[in-house]
Amino acid sequence: MKALFVPAPGAGFEWTDRPTPAPGPADVLIRVLRTGICGTDLHIERWDEWAASSISTPLVPGHEFSGEVVEVGPLVHDIAVGDVVSGEGHIVCGMCRNCRAGRRQMCIRTLGLGLHRDGAFAEYVVLPGQNVWVHHTPIDLDVAAIFDPFGNAVHTALAFDTVGEDVLVTGCGPIGLMAVAVARHAGARFIVATDVSPARLELAARMGADAVVDVSREAIGDVQRRLGMREGFDIGMEMSGAASALSSMIDNMTHGGRIAMLGLPHAPFAIDWGKVVTHMLTLKGIYGREMFETWNSMSAMLQTSPVLGERIASVISHRVPAHEWRTGFELAHSGGAGKVILDWTEV
């Protein structure tokens, strides 16, 4: 099969032939149809400090995908050849305390598809049956390929009850944009989104934000007053990983406000813990998706809300043939694109 391959530590991928993987008795073999390019893939392609310390080679990267089931192991249930599927890329041990308690997203031995085992930047990928998500209703293959980051957004947006609440979203990359759309779908009152990119802020408005803030030019507090908010935000969703974003979020929360943090900081930074304590704020770290309640929520929301589906699909800005992967990665690296999809039906 054709695949993108990292043969040894170092920058760049090889477009090469690799053996088609063989599924075990509890596995599913999937023909990959679409893949999304994630920020993690950009780290691996650059082979930066994070990749050098976290990734083992040789490796086929890639973890955001949609595909068609072509073989099912004898121990797998409820999955059939021909099913259109996406995949949960966090592969868990099943035996630690959290796994046994049904909190698999908190597994202490999690392995990442396309990070610690061969992933989906290939014509075929093998995944444990329990990690395969079957789409039982029709779905656009591009949207199915971004169920992984869509799940990040849903996990973050539904971490706290947003019905009737005022929501601040800091960071309007693809996941932040999808979080705005989910918060609007879930019944938030006012949604304010912040970034420094005019293009991304324009997209946030289309996603359903009531106001957008270029924080290099305007203060969040000014926007609160313009909306008629009398106190601070009830819910914060920090999607950027920027120290300044979290600090400004804390400054603009109401007493008892709740913050869900998905953005990964590049380095430790100080925050006003006195305000966290005296304002009785809750900070909750978010990683990946809940297995598999987040997946149920994603499918249900898309099935019942065409508007949400259109908004999620609008995050995808480019689709390129898989053999033109360099173009796809250049677009993703540029920062000016939305979500970039590789089409594996064109290899």
Which residues are catalytically annotated? 40, 43
- Helix, strand, coil percentages, rounded to 5, for the chain: 35, 25, 40
Angle, CA of 333, 126 and 314, to the nearest 5°: 40
b/e sequence 66-84, b meaning 16+ C-beta within 10 Å: bbebeebbeebeebeeebb
* Distance in angstroms (rounded) separating the CA atoms of residues 248 and 48: 29
- In angstroms, rounded to a whole number, what is the distance separating the alpha carbons of residues 80 and 211? 45
Angle at 313 between CA 307 and CA 317, to 5 degrees: 140
- Which residue is listed with tokens 């992967």? 325
SS3 at position 245: helix
- Measured over all CA atoms, what is the biggest interatomic distance in the chain, rounded to whole angstroms? 62
Which residue has tokens 């979500």? 339
Which residue type is seen at 156? T
Give which of 76, 70, 14, 86 is closest to 44, Cα–Cα.
14
